[in-house]
Structure 1
Amino acid sequence: MSKQPMKIILVHGGGHGAWCWYKVVAALKSQGYSTTAIDLAACGSDPRRMAEDVTTFEEYAQPLMDLMASVPEGEKIVLVGHSFAGLSLASAMDAFPQKIAVAVFVTAILPDTVHAPWHIFQQHFEQYPEINGGTTRTSVAIPGRSEPFIILTSDPEFLASRLYQNCSLEDLSLGTMLVRPASFFEEDLRRRAAFSKERYGSVEKVFVVCGEDAILTPSFQRWMVENSPVKEVVEINGADHMAMLSKPRELCECIAAIVNSYAAN
């Protein structure tokens, strides 16, 4: 390991927060890595709320964009994103490609440079319609918006069967208490232009396949990689959707190996 390894920024998925990385943060820091897990807007300990305070994807992802803006020029970091955070990573890659050594997509939404970001969700809904139950959809009218804002609330059974099925009862209980309402920001992501090949597409990407993910299935993860090729694909066998909780040691080893590899480049 280099004496001054690159900083690692960990970004959570929808409805979660920095808290879900607690095992990985501890493991990486114990090995000497500079590691930060952040809360996106209306997530984790962030006091804002969906619909009342956060109604756009840009507002949601702003904490990551602010953090990226604070990275000194000439310095590069490693971005790690989980699940819905793939779109936050893509936004940061589009805005700050020169500051990112590698982006690691942990069973994360992987957009391409051809379609609007919503394309991936549309494909998932069409290919796996039976998987997407288990959440309560609440429509909220937002002044100035042509479509209602949809808030998604995951019920405990959905968390247990689709996200945390290989996690300990303690971590499932933690998730049940801390997971907050989320949104896919469908209207925004339908209208947004594709991420750019010149900027987003120029950043090296590694995809981590979670072998027992019951929501973004391994076959769909591989479809995303075929749709938007990456430099490297690694797989964690036995990992459910919440790999940072069900397989933290393996995920930590994976991230450390990626950091060391790209630090040497």
Structure 2
Amino acid sequence: MNNSGNCIDKKHYVLVHGACHGAWSWYKLKPRLESAGHKVTSLDLAASGINMKKIDDVHTFSQYSQPLLHLMATIPKNEKVVLVGHSLGGLNIALAMDKFPKKVAVGVFLAAFAPDTEYRPSYVVENYIERIPPSEWFDTEFAPSGNKTSILLGPEILAKELYQLSPIEDLELAKTLVRPSSLFVEDLSQQKNFSKERYGSVPRAYIVCTEDLTIPIEYQLWMIQNAGINDVLKIKGADHMAMNSRPRELFESLQKIAAKYA
């Protein structure tokens, strides 16, 4: 214990959701981390969860990431957070690491898109889209939205590819709460690479979900190798939504990573 009565190893976890989801997707993990004495911020990105913006009014990936970038700007200079990005959220945390490298103890990619410093930020998403046969998007709705394509995950793809090992209640919650989002490929393909000196200087860890049908394990492993991430943990039996299908194992994995870096 230190003088203020807090546990010395109290960490600040910042949890960043994936496309079409929101802060709500962390509802099982957040109380677990908090009851272990940590500070947890799970936020809604623009046009996600209860954020009031509509996806049609969000034109760039940077605008989509604004709630996270705003939070990072408010973190005191002498503090560092444990940034956790799920799925598309891996690109949001990479952007935050690139802009605020000194405020991040470690960036954790949970079954997430993990960019490198050699290619444009869109590279890992474009490469992924090329590998997915159209039939595997099931009932996902794609629509033109200004300078980008919006995407809405339907009940079938949620059930078959994201939540197939999660409790049925979590699938129902998702079917009720998902909102249109975007992969922002058009904008990301115009952006500069994340830099070796900034993004590349922050410790990175990857949590592989072995039963993920959304971002299959082969692709997770390819991104890990491509991005040069050395610290890799696996959660056996986790679908894409590890926070629902394996919340205890995810909690333990994050504790392990944070103990090493934060």
Partner of residue 69, structure 1: 73
* Corresponding position of 2:239: 240
Whether 1:38 aligns to 2:37 is no
Aligned residue runs from structure 1 range 86-101, under 5 A: 86-101=90-105
Q: Provide structure 1 residue ranges, at least 5 long, that are not aligned to the other structure.
A: 143-147
- Looking at structure 2, the residues matched to 49 and 95 of structure 1 have their Cα atoms a distance apart, in angstroms, of 25
Q: Distance in 1 between matches of 2:155 and 2:136?
A: 15
Q: Write out aligned runs for 1:95-110 (5 A).
A: 95-110=99-114
The one-letter amino acid paired with 2:123 is H
User: Runs of 4 or more off by more than 6 Å in structure 1?
Assistant: none
Using structure 2 for the length normalisation, give the TM-score. 0.94
The Cα shift of 1:251 comes to 0.3
| 1:193-204 paired onto structure 2 within 5 Å | 193-204=192-203
Alignment partner of 2:54 out of 27, 41, 49: 49
Task: Give the distance between the partners of 1:109 and 1:241, measured in 2 at CA.
Answer: 12
Q: Deviations over 1:91-137 (max 9, x none)?
A: 10100000111010000000010111111122112233253443111
**Residue of structure 2 in register with 1:151 after alignment:** 150
Structure-2 residue corresponding to 1:145: none
How far did residue 54 of structure 1 move? 1.4
Partner of 1:178: 177
Residue 163 of structure 2 corresponds to residue 164 of structure 1: yes
Give the corresponding residue for 1:205: 204
AA aligned opposite 2:163: Y
Q: Name 1:13's counterpart in structure 2.
A: 18
Q: Report percent identity of matched pairs.
A: 46
Q: Hey, what's the Cα distance between the residues in 2 that align with 1:115 and 1:50?
A: 26
Unaligned runs of 5+ in 2: 2-6
Tell me how far apart the structure 1 counterparts of residues 73 and 230 of structure 2 sit (CA, whole Å): 25
- C-alpha contact 1:125 1:132 (8 A) present in aligned 2: no
The code of the aligned residue for 2:168 comes to L
**Cα contact 1:131–1:215 (8 A) shared by 2:** no
CA deviation after TM superposition for structure 1 residue 3, in Å = 2.2
Does the aligned pair in 2 maintain the 1:204–1:231 contact within 8 Å? Answer: no
CA distance in 2 between partners of 1:243 and 1:125 (Å)? 22
Q: CA offset at residue 230 of structure 1?
A: 1.1
Report SS of the residue matched to 2:28. Answer: helix
- Name the structure 1 match of 2:117: 113
3-state DSSP class of the match of 1:167? coil
Matched positions, count: 256
Return the offset for 1:252: 0.6
Could you tell me whether the CA contact under 8 Å between 1:5 and 1:259 is conserved in 2?
no
1-structure distance, mates of 2:40, 2:62: 24
Distance, in Å, in 2 between the alignment partners of 1:170 and 1:133 is 21
Aligned equivalents of 1:154, 1:75: Cα separation in 2: 36
